[in-house]
Amino acid sequence: MNDGQSWLSELGPELAIQARLANVLLAAVEVDARWEWLELGCSVAKGRGDSLSDLDLGLGYAGDRPPPVEDVSDMLRGLGNVVDLAVGLWDGVPRWWVQYQDGGQIDLVALPATSRAGRAPGSVALLDRKGRLSRVFTPDTLSASPEDCRSWLLDGWEALSNVAKYLHRGSVLEAIEQIHRARTDVFRLWAVGEGVDYPVFGLTSLLDAARPSVPKGIELTYPTTDDPGALAAASVTARLLAVAGRHADPHLHSPMEEFVGRRLDELGGDTA
């Protein structure tokens, strides 16, 4: 039994489906010299997975040319009865998402083995032929830069400015979509303030933290599908976006806060 198999053998009965999928995939990768390493990340790797958790996997290929997409798809289809399989690009590399009949899910990316300087924090090396994953490295997305925070803050204000525009036009569903966009930025900025890893993933990272935390009142940002409900939710979102920005950085502010606030207040006066 290799190290990857040993680690998978420790998964409890609640993760039997995930353990079976990972073991079969590991066996397929081990006999194919094109693959140098197989890494498992996110909730299952961190010991917080449950029966509904997917397997988040990275697969490193040797050499400069990736194996054909069809070969990887066939390998994944061979792991069990497949409901459906999708292939696309994620951050410039091929990504597969697979749903299996037994409820198992795989989310897998393939990238050059040499592109990684080590193992991501909290992940597990199921296969590592050359010891490339023997040490932990710091991914760029583990934390956020001041530029990231400002970008998220301005993206949130842009979205809320759009809310005012769409509500003025009477397009409440478009407004609600923009509230969701702004809420994502609230979660990202709040994650920075909380010191949570991978703040770019927002709510997911906050709930995966050892001590989950979300901004107080965030539930009020989920609107009803009418103009007053959307306006009320947008107003709360605007307040929380400003709060989350200062939580990330006490000096983080944009004049958009006052500008958007006035536009939303004017809409409230129109409907009073």
* Backbone angle region of 38, left / alpha / beta, with phi > 0 → left and psi within -120 to 50 → alpha: beta
- 260, 164 Cβ separation under 8 angstroms: yes
- What's the mean pLDDT in 30-40? 96
Q: Which H or E run includes 55? A: strand 55-61
Sketch the domain layout of the chain as residue ranges: 3-138, 141-271
Cross-strand bridge partners of residue 123: none
What pLDDT does residue 135 have?
Answer: 92
Nearest CA to 182 out of 203, 150, 157, 165 is that of 157
Architecture label for domain 3-138: 2-Layer Sandwich (3.30)
Of 108, 103, 106, 104, the closest CA to residue 88 belongs to 108
Instruction: Examine the pLDDT at 1 and tell me if it is beyond 80.
Output: no
Write the burial class of residue 87 (CB in 10 Å: 0-12 exposed, 13-18 middle, 19+ buried): middle
**Homologous superfamily (CATH) for 141-271:** Nucleotidyltransferases  domain 2 (1.20.120.330)
Q: How confident is the model at residue 252 (pLDDT cuts 50, 70, 90)?
A: very high
pLDDT tens figures, 164-187: 999 999 999 999 999 999 999 999
Q: Check residue 202 and give left, alpha or beta (phi > 0: left; psi -120 to 50: alpha).
A: left
The DSSP bridge partners found for residue 60 are 37, 111
Q: What is the pLDDT of residues 184-209, one digit of tens each?
A: 999 999 999 999 999 999 999 999 88
Average pLDDT on 46-74 reads: 93
Write the CB contacts of 24 (distance below 8 Å, at least 6 apart in sequence): 78, 79, 80
CA-to-CA distance for 56 and 84, rounded, in angstroms? Answer: 17
Q: Is the pLDDT of residue 246 over 80?
A: yes
Concatenate the DSSP letters of all residues of 60-110 into one string: EESSSSPPPHHHHHHHHHTTS-EEEEEEEEETTEEEEEEEETTS-EEEEEE
- Give the residue-averaged pLDDT of 22-33: 95
Look at the chain and count its residues. 272
